[in-house]
Structure 1
Amino acid sequence: MGDYEDVLASLETLNHSVLQAMGYTKKVYEGGSNVDQFVTRFLLKETANQIQSLLSSVESAVEAIEEQTSQIRQNPSKPSQGVADPWYSNPAPRYTPNHKLSSAEPGKSFPSGSLDTKEEGLEAQISRLAELIERLENKTLWFDLHQRLSDGNSTACTYLLLVRQEMVVSREHLGEFLSSLRQYLRSTAEDSHCFHITAVRLSDGFTFVVYEFWETDEEWKR
């Protein structure tokens, strides 16, 4: 199976992680605070965008192979010149993060649905993520990250600043970086002005993305 053995194993892990995330998202939208919902909504959007970006790269490869196979079948006597299209060498397209998020509409519960999706393929699960996001967008007003997130139970308003940092670490410095990252996450999480902080390790093992939600730009720069 070559490299596809690792790919299929990773898809099983991704399938399990997606189901867990869906359950967590539902729980947050049923009883979480406005800030928790805001952060979860961003992470959901981020997840959908990254998976869609990866999927589009795979679909391009499939389409190229099918087109190439079709041409060979139609002209079996002709030599297959130029069939080695460079589609396989193109990296997965980098997505553009959508930083426009919505404030939850009072009285609206998170769309429920069966989490029994063992027979669903990866594409079907991505479609479910996209559908949930679309429902949220259709039911709510858009807010930019630098616009106010209103608290429905009071007149106070909170400003949220999103900080997204992407870092690529060399193999020889990976251990030292992980130790420093853990310490940074712990110390930052204890700061009362930081609403939320999380780090994501991408599939290559050496790329890390850190997301921080701060009260103000001044507090983040301290």
Structure 2
Amino acid sequence: MFKIEHVTVRINEKFILNDLSFTVPKGQITVMIGESGSGKSTMLSAILGMLPAQATVEGSIFFNGRNIVELAKQDQSVLRQRHFFTIFQDAANSFSPTQKMKQQLYGLTALRMGQTKAVFLAKMKHIVQDLHLPADVLERYPFELSGGMLQRCMLACALYLAPAVLLADEPTSSLDMLHQQEFIQQLKRLHTRLETTVLLITHDLDVAASIADFILVMKNGEIVERGQVTEIFEQPKHPYTRQLVAHHF
């Protein structure tokens, strides 16, 4: 599905990512963990084409055999819009405070697919119900919803679009423990139902342990260890991974 080969990112000549290579297998949940500043979010930005203007990128990012880096900007945009969906750290920042959720969720889903508002409402009402969101959520404004509800609205968009790839950047970091667990359970349900390929970024080992099929450990712009969940938690090899796991327990 995804193959990252020798990706190096510099910003103002400073190395942020250094020669990263890894695979995100189709239909699996791959979790990238590491402390703040390790380069996790920069890797996601490189995949999304959202790096700052002063960044330079070397290497290849293959999606279904096509190197995204070599595509024209418009082709990159079409590919991402058609196949990817992203959930960011703070869902509140993904929504305008001046529009009802109905208009905003329509813009994130059905409008992209060329569907009418009537089709959208009929389908989204079932998804909202399935995610245990309030029945009137589409008539509310973002500031009338909790952080957990807003993140579930993002999951509602993913369920609507059924993307090939779901990218999630610290999606639980702004949630309390109860809402974290709810979000993870709903994300696992989405993954099971749609067989979506997931790349999730987090610094929280509890989140990684509860959802990952495979874990990549990041430090200072490099992958220092990779393996199945049991390998990482029961037999960590790199000193940094051992330190993370020791602090976790």
Tell me which interval the TM-score lies in, with the shorter structure as reference length: under 0.3
Q: Which has the higher helix share?
A: 1
TM-score in terms of structure 2 length? 0.22
Q: Which has the higher strand share?
A: 2
TM-score in terms of structure 1 length? 0.24
Q: Which has the larger radius of gyration?
A: 1
